[in-house]
Structure 1
Amino acid sequence: MIKIVRGNPTPEELAAALAVVQARAAASAAAAQGEGTPPEWSDPARTVPARRVPHPGPRAWRTTYWPS
């Protein structure tokens, strides 16, 4: 329940204020359910190759910039 404490808002002002409150409540409910998280396929970390650090060895310096 919303109570007007001070002033005399017009119906348009009251409708605008209620729309903002309703949108914020819907956004917080969606965030609580986890609907705001992006899907896994859009995660940029999945495009990074798993082997970024060269393994020690005689040609380790070559694999630093030229992945195999």
Structure 2
Amino acid sequence: MTEHEDAPRIEIIRGNPTEEELAALLAVVSDAYTRETDEAVADEPHVSVWERTQRGLRKPLRRDIPWGRFSG
């Protein structure tokens, strides 16, 4: 992915903005986008290699239910 593909896209739908207005808009939006991407950090939970490779334990068998759920 190149730098231009990763950049946000702005599309003017109505009106006829001047070059100064477009420059101001691009400056404000670009600055806000850059700050947001710099500050956006997701905490990764620490999971050991052992925990990643282990299957979850099943619940213990219920001994109070008879085989086949029939008591007679």
Asked if Structure 1 and Structure 2 have the same fold, meaning a TM-score greater than 0.5 normalized by the shorter chain, the answer is: no
* TM tier relative to shorter chain: 0.3 to 0.5
TM-score relative to the length of structure 1: 0.45
Greater helix fraction, Structure 1 or Structure 2:
1
**Higher relative contact order at CA 8 Å, sep ≥6: structure 1 or structure 2?**
1
Which entry has the higher C-alpha Rg, 1 or 2? 2
